[in-house]
Amino acid sequence: MDFQPLPHAFPFRFADGVVERTGRAEGRVRASVTADAAAVRATGFPTAVLAELVAQSALLLQGGDSALGRKGFLAGISDLSVQRLPVPGDVLTIDVSIAGRLGDTVKFDGVILDAHGGAIARGSVTVKQGSA
């Protein structure tokens, strides 16, 4: 399957590409933290960005359907726990799987891992397909 790029653009694109696909919208995605180090030290890394990273990873695994990306939105975040925030230079791996589906609403579970395979965050996101 050909994985198309997401419709997201800098500075709101966080997921780089698919590493491995294990099922429909399940697999592993790569992301690099490229934020300016001084800005991250001054303001901190927004925790909500980690939830957005899981949502973008799920979309990439669905084939990067740009129409879906423009017609869907992050509708919920649940049970997000953060062990540590990423820092500039981190290369992250995101494991994503479908936890449930009800019509056009899909819940994804995600685990964000550092380069050593340690979990830095985990949680679930709900993505609603359609207009906000």
CATH topology of domain 17-129: Thiol Ester Dehydrase; Chain A (3.10.129)
Q: What is the pLDDT of residue 88?
A: 75
Q: What is the pLDDT of residue 3?
A: 47
**What dihedral angle (degrees, nearest 10) is formed by the CA atoms of 67, 35, 114, 30?**
30
CA 19 to chain centre: 13
Record the pTM: 0.77
Q: What is the pLDDT of residue 78?
A: 93
Judged by phi (left if over 0) then psi (alpha if -120 to 50, else beta), residue 29 lies in: beta
Q: Where are the domains of the chain?
A: 17-129
Q: What is the pLDDT of residue 13?
A: 63
Strand partners, 31: 92
Interval 32-61: pLDDT, tens: 766 555 555 555 667 888 898 888 888 777
Q: Parallel, antiparallel, or unpaired for β 105-113 and 26-32?
A: unpaired
Helix (H, G, I), strand (E, B) or coil at 126: strand
Q: Which of 7-16, 20-29, 93-102, 117-126 has the lowest mean pLDDT?
A: 7-16
